[in-house]
Structure 1
């Protein structure tokens, strides 16, 4: 069935869209909503042993233009933060956060408790929906994690159990597959450090969790460029996600959006808080499209993004980091 033509795109005789700059800039942050929220390995057939696409196939004219737009959007946020406008925006975000930054640990423990209880109830899953298992120790480990999250003093026990589950997943699925899920190692470090009231080489536990979340999302975006074919069945089943853009162009745009927003989580306070808001909108909107699998599977990422958005520490804390 031919793809419908949308206003704002030029079409060649091969049906490949060439973006009008004005339309692409206006819709840049909207294009990745569905695919960023839905993890393709949970809904489509994939082959991690397949060869990724070469750079020659990825670095095309559309990719270059998307990169320029991404850089402009990113550094615009950085510049605004240093002006007189940055402080009022930060105060406005603080009003919406309602002091949740002071309760980040409770938010994370509650969200992760929901996540691991849900996994235990479902059964046969290690850490995410496609990581199937028949091991009898997985359910008790998941319940132990949830129980350990009931008290701050017992979160190190939960941390050890998370590492055990991750180790089982590496054994069964390999290191390359688990590169998608570095967030769980960051979560383990966060739980251990908060329980012991320690820092790691002077870095706060929440920042370690933020870095690992960014790494997870950046890796997922790279997969959209290296293995776009994994997502094509998902786009065929949910054609409204792509907004009428062909699958190849959509995956390039979605990957660029996701990578830029994930990279922004590593940056300065205002930039990362704004990025967290956009990512939250993506993941929450995808839950309506993909159902309870997406809700449970991404609950850890969602609570981490909430704490990043609510984190109102003074910007002097980490302006040197970038």
Structure 2
């Protein structure tokens, strides 16, 4: 086991708690947009990822989720929900308008930049795609044409998959969630009883959980950022910081599929982290993260109430553990299979 995994127990726990509470501007920036990366390269071994400090980070994350779920059953939790309802009333009443405006601005920005498919590292030499993106933006002006714009997003996602592969685009299923929201909202329908906003929520959770595993698998991608901006690590060792940042992101992402208060608070923390990263990394980060920021605002404003049952609390550790094992296994398994097939 690597020596950098061996932090004293109390220090690792206190450091994990500090990162969990404060969040991370550096971890919220998408490293592929600002640093060199090599998806085909070998990831950090699982033995090094699943070391003592990782177990402590998972425990702290799970405790934070458990405390949040317990809080929801109290008078204080109910008061927090009512306060959130009041503060987010405008966003809740204008969720569709926010999505249309932000997505319209996003695709106008891509049209202006040129040479980008959906995100900064997904480049293209096509001269037709920018005009296609402008057409997608125009479709958000009318509700009736929103499904066509949503279809355009799916087409762009398919082009990106064809050019960069499924494994690379596994970073971005949130775009498909946003497309589903726009299409269903334009048609005034649900998907087998699932609300359009819930589809965005699930896709955002999957996106961020996958991204957190990537932080554990390829922490070295972020090291150049830490050299240029050492303050991003908040004084921690870079390797441990990336492990802690991944644990924070995974916990917050998992929280998006949890009970109402927990997911609303998680969405607020995530939105704040993404917005704070803009001040550090500029307009590229602002443009790239705008769809997921508006999704977080919409989730934070969602006032749907679901009674919390004791059974949910009892199964929380198992659900979290299953999600953690599934995403780590899927990431490493898919990477190994695609590497063996020469598809990376």
TM-score of the aligned structures, taking structure 1 as reference length: 0.91
Mapped to 2, the partners of 1:126 and 1:21 lie a distance apart of: 40
Distance 1:199 1:317 in 2: 24
C-alpha RMSD of matched pairs (Å): 2.2
Query: 41, 54, 61: which one pairs with 1:70?
Result: 61
Q: 1: CA distance between counterparts of 2:209 and 2:138?
A: 31
Per the alignment, residue 91 of structure 2 pairs with: 100
Distance 1:253 1:189 in 2: 32
Equivalent residue, structure 1, for 2:120: 129
Q: What is aligned with 1:4?
A: none
Does 2:11 align with 1:28?
A: no
Give the equivalent residue in structure 2 for 1:87.
78
Partner of 2:252: 261
Alpha carbons of 1:111 and 1:319: their partners in 2 closer, same or farther (altered >3 Å)? farther
Which of 37, 43, 52 is matched with 1:46 structurally?
A: 37
Partner of 1:288: 279
Q: 1:214 aligns with which of 201, 205, 212?
A: 205
**CA distance in structure 2 between the partners assigned to 1:318 and 1:108 by the alignment:** 32
Deviation, structure 1 residue 81: 0.6
8 Å Cα contact 1:36-1:283 kept in structure 2:
no
Unaligned runs of 5+ in 2: 313-318, 320-344
Q: Which has the higher helix share?
A: 2
**What is residue 191 of structure 2 aligned with on the other side?**
200
Question: What is the Cα deviation at residue 95 of structure 1?
Answer: 1.9
Structure 1 stretch displaced more, 173-182 or 196-205: 196-205
Q: Is the 8 A contact 1:126 1:165 kept in 2?
A: yes
Match of 1:159 in 2: 150
Query: Which aligned pairs between 1:116-195 and structure 2 lie closer than 5 A?
Result: 116-195=107-186
Q: Distance in 1 between matches of 2:310 and 2:182?
A: 25
Q: Deviation digits for residues 10-42 of structure 1, max 9, x if unmatched?
A: xxx989754526632551325641233200000
Deviation at 1:116, TM superposition (A): 0.7
- Counterpart check, 1:278 vs 2:289: no
Q: Aligned to 2:100, what secondary structure does the other structure show?
A: helix
CA contact (8 A) 2:202 2:256 kept: yes
SS in 1 for 2:32: helix
- Say if 1:56 and 1:22 are closer, same or farther in 2 by CA, change over 3 A: closer
CA contact (8 A) 1:31 1:253 kept: no
Q: Provide closer, same or farther for how the CA distance between residues 31 and 61 of structure 1 changes in structure 2, counting only shifts above 3 A.
A: farther
Instruction: Show CA shifts across 1:85-104 (max 9, x none).
Output: 22101011112213321211
Tell me, in whole angstroms, the C-alpha distance in 2 between the residues paired with 1:286 and 1:17.
28
**CA distance in 2 between partners of 1:320 and 1:102 (Å):** 33
Hey, what does 1:10 align to over in structure 2?
none
Contact kept, 8 Å, 1:31 with 1:242, in 2: the verdict is no
Runs of 4+ in 1 over 6 A off after TM superposition: 13-16, 317-322
Judge conservation of contact 2:115–2:125 (CA < 8 Å) in 1: yes
Q: How many residues align?
A: 310
Kindly state the Cα deviation for residue 137 of structure 1 after the two structures are TM-superposed. Answer: 2.3
Query: What TM-score results when the alignment is normalised by the length of structure 2?
Result: 0.85
Residue 136 of structure 1 and its aligned partner are, at CA, apart by: 2.2
The alignment partner of 1:315 has SS state of coil
Change (3 A) 1:131 1:318: farther
- Please say if residues 13 and 56 of structure 2, whose CA atoms lie closer than 8 Å, have aligned partners that are also in contact: no
Bigger RCO (CA 8 Å, 6+ sep)? 1
- Compute the displacement of 1:190 (Å): 1.1
